[in-house]
Amino acid sequence: MTMNVTLSQRSYASSTVVAPAGRLDHDNCEAFREALQPLLQEGARAGGGIVFDLSALDYVSSAGLRCFMIAAKEAKTLGSKIVIAAMQPVVAEIFQISRFNLVFDTFLTVREALVTLSPDSAAAYGRE
């Protein structure tokens, strides 16, 4: 992605953890959306849910939040689910002000998020 946000992904049993890092804004949200597509497909194929680990995301604009919303709809269509974990304080405030905290299930840690999605995934995460 030619942008100041990067994207990494790891699998834990049937669940997938997707971790964007940097700043997600109007300039890079479309590239971010495109980069998400194969990860959403892969996550759905694995059968479990998808955790967005936002611990390395410094900032998200309205356009970035919209990307999350669209990804959640796409995941639902694929029979999967996206939850949010480990937000930095600024991003957590942006979620609260925009009311995205009412749209997504949010968790303080990736482990807590995985526990709600699948015990196997949480166990796999714990073995790292």
Partner 1 sequence: MRVRFWGTRGSIPVSLTWRDVRDRLAQALVAANGQSLDTLEKACEFADRHLGFSLARTFGGHSACVEFEPGSDEYFVCDMGSGARAFGAHVLARQAGREATINVFMSHMHWDHIMGFPFLGPAYVPGTRIRIYGCHAVLEHAFRLQQDPPCFPVTFDQLAADIEFILLTPGETATVSGVRVTPKLQQHSGASYGFRFEANGKSFVYTTDSEHKLEERSQTEEFVQFFRDADLVVFDAMYSLADAVSVKADWGHSSNVIGVELCQMARAKRLALFHHEPAYDDAAVERIFAETRRFEELTRAEHRLEVVAAYDGLEIDL
Contact set with partner 1 (CB under 8 A): 26, 30, 59, 61-63, 65-66, 69, 90, 93-94, 96-100, 102-103
CB of 115 to partner 1, least distance (A): 25
Q: How far apart are CA 125 and CA 53, in angstroms?
A: 13
Specify whether the CB–CB gap between 63 and 26 falls below 8 A: yes
Minimum CB distance to partner 1 smaller for 26 or for 45: 26
- Surface-to-core class of residue 128, CB atoms within 10 Å of its CB (0-12 exposed, 13-18 middle, 19+ buried): exposed
CB of 20 to partner 1, least distance (A): 18
Minimum CB distance to partner 1 smaller for 63 or for 78: 63
Minimum CB distance to partner 1 smaller for 97 or for 128: 97
Q: What residues pair up with 59 in beta bridges, in sequence order?
A: 23
